[in-house]
Chains A and B, each alone.
Chain A
């Protein structure tokens, strides 16, 4: 059973499952990369929901284009025609959302909800109408809902790949302008950028990705490809363009895994498999990313706890207080700060003096700048030199020397 699955999948993974499948795999990878890139900027601009509105708004245009082509030529399955229809109605949906947001008191989320459901509902009605028509190829339309790459023509796959590649280049060209607007649109304006235009370009690229991806992931699930990879990227880095690059990588990987898996058996939907692959990458990141992953967070908490115990232990040594806490004793002993019987070693005594000095600097800082100190979240546990600018530390040191010890 397992081998009958693994063997064809392995062949697909190595691009050995025929010309068509290989081309589709390549297309899905490039698509995933561009969706991840543009999706990252959309996420940083805090407009992720817009991609949901765009994707659902494609349905009426798609079906209308199908009806139009079917009545003219008897067959409505020509991909470029369908995509143009989808793009037109997505653009209309986007325009409607913007207009409602700008002209009324409704927020963008409310506008998205209203437009998304209306246009999608309209599209479903049109699909029902098509099913009662007597034209060929209507079964193919459901492929646009959840994605179907199995029966894709080589020319279609080539078109998708080429468009996705173009988008990839476009996002790369615009990356710095996008970043500036995402971080601070006002500042971007003062640098001579028209923030509204940049926003519009961003949305147009998003729209293009959604439309191109219709056949691959389907319109319901394309939104996952513009949101999950960027969120995954956020786990691995604190740098903006690196996050975009990681999102592109995750998107490409999800497309690769999804399409190859769906080629194993006929009838396996591509979209859900791509999304599941994307989610798998997300789940792995959520658990194991070294910066923000759950495991790393737990480990960091343990380290933090030890640091608190170490500091408290050293301060107790400096004051000659007795230490009862087991963990504190263990941490001190591990650092060779105390002997087995609890007496401070020379090393421990000097560390205790340093800790006391640090503590006094921090106390002085809290005294002088209470508001500023309240904003720091580590409450004086980090070495003061690494937490405050050098000029501040020098001022504190000289202030500390002026104040007699008895007053402190």
Chain B
């Protein structure tokens, strides 16, 4: 496959081909192919230990990959990192770090600031603007350790927003956050999609996949299924990805939430 010539790959904000990552001898992700459709909102789904986060980290160059090719708009990631904004898991940093909310969001402006520049009002305003988009502008001067889990997640989202990137990659943004924060984050993500941005998101709550996303990638070390939600998010694919761990009742509720509700009514 010549990545530079394939128009689908050249247009895709993130295309991975034959990606394999291994910790020791045991592959965590094995030969996964996936082309993210531009402008889509894609959920990466799979059971615990399926390699969802690892797939993203390898695509971003954080984890070293054993083999495979990663392209951002048809070019290697290293040349295109300005197009990608990453929202890591909350647990990945030490929240006792001496930084205020504003400091963390300003880190998103790293590429706009040369070493001789001091932070200007313009940069501050940019950061405050993205803080207000996640409802956190009143917390700008707060030390990050004083925030609750949901608030920390909002701050990470604000840091990614300030980059104004074409592709946003989120690692379990809804893990351990309150319902209000989940709603706030989903609204921000949907507004990004409406502006033509692409979103790729590791997601663990199967019940909300249909409400939040339009594409899915199901993996369990290997790729199980991928495509638009109505085609790829089927009970057969889920059974395969989760290895038969889901009961029929659970499946019915996940695949047809509307039918389930009418049944109960």
Q: Check: B135 CB closer than 8 A to any chain A CB.
A: yes
User: Are B135 and A44 closer than 8 Å at their CB atoms?
Assistant: no
**Which B residues are CB-close (under 8 A) to A312?**
none
Known A-B contacts A179-B107, A391-B135; the reply to A191 vs B180 at CB < 8 A is no
- Residues 105-156 of B contacting A (Cβ, < 8 Å): 107, 110-111, 113, 115, 135-136, 138-139, 143, 148-151, 154
User: Are B81 and A192 closer than 8 Å at their CB atoms?
Assistant: yes
Q: Check: A237 CB closer than 8 A to any chain B CB.
A: yes
**Which A residues are CB-close (under 8 A) to B99?**
183, 238-240
**Which B residues are CB-close (under 8 A) to A176?**
110, 113, 115
Return the contact of B177 from the options A237, A372, A391 (Cβ within 8 A): A372
Q: Check: B184 CB closer than 8 A to any chain A CB.
A: yes
Q: Check: B7 CB closer than 8 A to any chain A CB.
A: no
Give the docked Cα–Cα distance between A234 and B143 (Å).
Answer: 13
Report the count of interface residues on B (CB-CB < 8 A): 41
Known A-B contacts A184-B88, A386-B138, A392-B180; the reply to A240 vs B103 at CB < 8 A is yes
Return the contact of B184 from the options A191, A238, A386, A389 (Cβ within 8 A): A389
**Which B residues are CB-close (under 8 A) to A243?**
98
Interface string of A163-199 (1 = CB under 8 A from B): 0000000001111110110111011011111000000
- A57: shortest Cβ distance to chain B, in Å? 28
Give the docked Cα–Cα distance between A176 and B57 (Å).
Answer: 23
Give the docked Cα–Cα distance between A371 and B179 (Å).
Answer: 11
Give the docked Cα–Cα distance between A210 and B177 (Å).
Answer: 45
Known A-B contacts A176-B113, A186-B92; the reply to A389 vs B82 at CB < 8 A is no
Closest partner residue, chain B, to A365 (CB atom) = B178
Return the contact of A191 from the options B103, B110, B138, B177 (Cβ within 8 A): B110
16 contacts between A and B (CB under 8 A): A46-B94, A173-B115, A176-B113, A180-B107, A184-B88, A189-B60, A192-B82, A239-B100, A368-B178, A369-B179, A372-B178, A386-B138, A389-B135, A389-B136, A389-B138, A390-B138
Please provide the 7 A-B residue pairs with the shortest distance between their CB atoms, ordered closest to farther: A192-B81, A369-B178, A372-B178, A190-B86, A389-B135, A392-B180, A238-B143
